[in-house]
Amino acid sequence: MDALFHTITDYVFSYDSPTASAMETARLSLMDGIGCAILALQYPACTALLGPVVPGTMLPVGARVLGTSFVLDPILAAFNIGTLVRWLDFNDTWLAAEWGHPSDNLGAILAVMDYLNRAGQRTFQVKDILLAMIKAYEIQGILALENSFNRLGFDHVILVKIASTAVAMQLLGGSRDHIAAALSQAFLDGPALRTYRHTPNTGSRKSWAAGDATSRAVRLAWLTLQGQQGYASALTAKRWGFNEVIMKGDSLKITRPLGCYVMEHILFKVAYPAEFHAQTAVECAVTLHGLYQNKLDAIEKIILSTHESAMRIIDKTGPLYNAADRDHCLQYMVAVALLQGDLKAVDYENHYTTDARVDALRAKMVVIEESTFSKDYLDPDKRSIANSMQIFFTDGTASEKIVVEYPIGHKRRRVEATPLLYQKYQNNLATLFPADKVNQLLALFQDHARLDQLPVDGLMDAFSVTEPRPRLGPVWHVRQGG
């Protein structure tokens, strides 16, 4: 087997000593991911994708889907859970040469563990979820440090598929050989194009792509358990291997030992469901709203200074066609935050989408790259995600230049962010559950000893609804005649 398969396999199979800091951050990440999933249930475009493929399908044993009454096979449950966690672009984030959202892996982790517990095959507890998360985050994040798929035109969710495949295979009881074989299958799949994340094709697939990746990971692990062979040189084979075809002759790199670095440094979206490169820009806009909300009509121009990655991904002019387009537009997010002093998920779909003031403000924005911001973004000792903003008015005056280097979800602001993460979780749960239930679920995550010992199926039961929800997904229609 190619060396990279062995490196990942040895880590997944053997690593069991994360730091206390990594475990504490994993609890926050689990709590935050569940809260994001519950909030996503308020959006019909998301709930339309949930549930069994064939309406009314019932399983005697399966995995639960957060916030619903669905019990599904673990492959489909992974898609459901992963899609819920990721839908609103509000879950945790990792930025490097490649970026992504490591809590996307919860789709595979929760589905597999819940199913195995209910089937009587394992007795996983929440502490096992935390360790599995640390492993999945590390695989995805360390591969992202030096290997950029997006610059080649491919989507970052390939790293979710790779990380989830390795961890799901181990959870299912696979041997080292099984893990390496399943990883080779994941790389043979290759990556998806990034087309659906960029103008003029930005669309809602970017919100279910991670769910698709986790589901595919569980399927590849299952296929491997059924005896499907591995492919020893899937990466390095001449002409036909991953390195030749996808990496254009370069080799995938792992530049630091696998441990718990990524979990310790994960980024949280605490206040705003905004693409992470825009988080500090939104903070700037909220500050300026508070100072100049009565002078917004007198704006002549707005200078946004940002880093190279933000310019490449979310600097958009022209029409925005849907919510997926808007939540990846730096200017749209800043305009809404300037107008109301806040930014919420609903603002990508509510009256602001037809508010003429938004496009008027967008037209006055000038986005430029600040080389220092770009440099510090890539500096492993800083890893800032900086933006600055200054407003110039028609009377010749100007606001102060607001600079925010580190978003509130950054490790450097973890102490400040933690109570706000609990509040975010509480607010998200309140969109589905009554107040007494919300208080119980909040108390659960505040009691670490009790939480860690809770069986995984007990955790999933706690976030399920007992009354069947209305049919969420589409009914299959068969075309009649020729």
Dump pLDDT digits (tens) for 238-253: 999 999 999 999 999 9
SS3 sequence of the chain: CCHHHHHHHHHHHHCCCCCHHHHHHHHHHHHHHHHHHHHHCCCHHHHCCCCCCCCCCCCCCCEECCCCCCEECHHHHHHHHHHHHHCCCCCCEECCCCCECHHHHHHHHHHHHHHHHHCCCCCCEHHHHHHHHHHHHHHHHHHHHHCCCHHHCECCHHHHHHHHHHHHHHHCCCCHHHHHHHHHHHHHHCCCECHHHCCCCCCCHHHHHHHHHHHHHHHHHHHHHCCCCCCCCCCCCCCCCHHHHCCCCCCCCCCCCCCCHHHHCCECCCCCCCCHHHHHHHHHHHHHHHHHHHHHHHEEEEEEEECHHHHHHHCCCCCCCCHHHHCCCHHHHHHHHHHHCCCCHHHHCCHHHHCHHHHHHHHCEEEEECHHHHHHHHCCCCCCCCEEEEEEECCCCECCCEEECCCCCCHHHHHHHHHHHHHHHHHHHCCCCCHHHHHHHHHHHHCHHHHHHCEHHHHHHHCCCCCCCCCCCCCCCCCCCC
pLDDT confidence of residue 480: 46
Q: Any residues with CB less than 8 A from the CB of 121 and at least 6 apart, and which?
A: 173
Tell which residue, 20, 81, 14, 85, has the closest CA to residue 51: 81
- Using N-to-C axis directions, what is the helix angle for 106-118 and 126-146, rounded to 10°? 150
What percentage of the chain reaches a pLDDT higher than 70? Answer: 97
Judge whether 182 and 221 are in contact, CB under 8 Å.
yes
Q: What is the pLDDT of residues 13-61, one digit of tens each?
A: 999 999 999 999 999 999 999 999 999 999 999 999 999 998 888 898 9
Q: What is the pLDDT of residues 381-397, one digit of tens each?
A: 888 999 999 999 999 99
pLDDT confidence of residue 472: 47
Is residue 474 predicted with pLDDT exceeding 60? no
Q: What is the pLDDT of residues 127-178, one digit of tens each?
A: 999 999 999 999 999 999 989 898 899 999 999 999 999 999 999 999 999 9
pLDDT confidence of residue 482: 36
Q: What is the pLDDT of residues 401-451, one digit of tens each?
A: 999 999 998 989 999 999 999 999 999 999 999 999 999 999 999 999 999
Residues 122-143: b if buried by 16+ CB within 10 A, e if exposed: bebbbbbbbbbbbbbbbbbbbb
Model confidence at 467, pLDDT cuts 50, 70, 90, reads: low
Torsion of CA 17, 21, 27, 32, to 10 degrees: -130
Which amino acid appears at position 330 of this protein? L
- Least confident interval from 292-296, 311-315, 321-325: 321-325
Mean pLDDT of 348-360: 89
pLDDT confidence of residue 481: 42
Report d(CA 10, CA 120) in Å as an integer.
Answer: 27
The total of other beta-carbon atoms located within 10 Å of residue 343's CB is 28
Using only the alpha carbons of the chain, give its radius of gyration.
22
pLDDT confidence of residue 268: 94
pLDDT confidence of residue 99: 77
- Using N-to-C axis directions, what is the helix angle for 205-225 and 157-171, rounded to 10°? 30
Is residue 9 predicted with pLDDT exceeding 70? yes
Mean pLDDT of 251-272: 93
Judge whether 186 and 220 are in contact, CB under 8 Å.
yes
Give the pair of three-digit tokens for residue 250.
């370069």
Report d(CA 415, CA 210) in Å as an integer.
Answer: 29
Residue whose entry in the numeric block shows the structure tokens 């006055």: 364
Cα 336 from chain centroid? Answer: 23
Mean pLDDT of 254-265: 94
Residue 353 burial (CB < 10 Å; 0-12/13-18/19+)?
middle
Cα 112 from chain centroid? Answer: 19
| Strand 365-369 to 402-404 pairing | unpaired
Average pLDDT along the chain: 93
Q: What is the pLDDT of residues 202-217, one digit of tens each?
A: 999 999 999 999 999 9
Structural domains of the chain ordered from first start: 3-264 (1.10.4100.10), 276-407 (3.30.1330.120)
Is residue 468 predicted with pLDDT exceeding 80? no
Report d(CA 153, CA 423) in Å as an integer.
Answer: 37
pLDDT confidence of residue 470: 42
Report d(CA 152, CA 142) in Å as an integer.
Answer: 18
